[in-house]
Amino acid sequence: MNVLEVKGVKKKLGKKQIIKGVSFEVEEGEIFGFLGPNGAGKTTTIRMLVGLIKPDEGIIKIAGHDIQKDRENALANLGAVVENPELYGYLSGRENLMQIARVRKLKKQNVDEVIELIGLHDRIDDKVKKYSLGMKQRLGLGAALLGEPKLMILDEPTNGLDPSGILDFREIVKKAAKERGMSVFVSSHILSEVQHLCDRVAFINGGEIKSVESVSEDGMATEKETMVVATTEDNKALDVVKSFDFVHTANINDGQIIVSIKSGYSPKLVEELVKSNVGIVEVYKRHKGLEQRYMELVEGGVR
């Protein structure tokens, strides 16, 4: 099931076309990254997703509800955390959450569950003005989680956090997605963070989606893999490798053979090299990182 559907969305600000027909979807329980440089259209897209501005064309659905035709039900399934959560500093963390729960007519049990999830039970009764930035971000996430939304939108959620705070925030988001089946849409400029957090990522530039791809902590899931092969006879090995039908390209670089092959064919590469009596010293996969893919799609090539 798609919790978020964006189809053919366009938006002008003044005379400038900011969003030029954006389409993507986010599945139930998926953590979906949204990457692009400043001015690419990320903020405008997010403002449309949370109902702050309307698209000129296209459809946005949250949990099956059209945000323009059925705004109340669409937004009822949405939670959001922006860069600096709005919190009452003179109240405790618990009092902040209870205020929100009262307005939304939620049970105290919801508040207790959220406190446990965000890991603030030891400090929840302290005044928020005494909280670190990381604690405020966790409390802001907790506030957004209170209504058990089906979709959570995070806009630069780890800005200003130290490494420990980033790790804590990441684990809370992953836990919420897994335990609650909640979908997460996260916009961030920290590429390593997106790679560690997200299942898929959309690359946006110039108001257009350049690609939507799967991602893992090891790198990007693509149709090609890059293998590095060290042998005792590089020139012979290169000729042999180039004869394989699953090899796209092969060349020698710094005493190693760099081979681009079809995804999933790395065992076959080793098997065929052994059959050809090539003396193998070392073979390993070079993982394509999110940073490299970002530069290819958004910046026009690796710097």
pLDDT tens column, 187-234 = 987 787 788 888 899 999 999 998 888 886 555 555 567 788 888 888
Looking at the domain assignment, is residue 302 inside a domain? no
For range 29-58, the mean pLDDT: 92
| pLDDT at res. 302 | 43
**Are 195 and 260 members of one domain?**
no
Looking at the domain assignment, is residue 138 inside a domain? yes
**Are 152 and 7 members of one domain?**
yes
pLDDT per residue over 119-154, tens digit each?
A: 888 999 999 999 988 888 889 889 888 888 999 999
Q: Of 194, 219, 244, which closes a domain?
A: 219
Looking at the domain assignment, is residue 301 inside a domain? no
**Are 102 and 244 members of one domain?**
no
**Are 132 and 231 members of one domain?**
no
**Are 28 and 105 members of one domain?**
yes
Looking at the domain assignment, is residue 300 inside a domain? no
Residue 300 has pLDDT above 60, yes or no: no
**Are 21 and 166 members of one domain?**
yes
More confident residue, 191 or 50: 50
How many domains does the structure of the chain reveal? 2
One-letter amino acid for residue 65 of the chain: H
**Domain of 257?**
223-287
Q: Of 196, 219, 242, which closes a domain?
A: 219
Q: What does the mean pLDDT of the chain come to?
A: 86
Segment among 38-42, 69-73, 156-160 with least mean pLDDT: 156-160
**Are 112 and 17 members of one domain?**
yes
Percent of the chain beyond pLDDT 70? Answer: 93
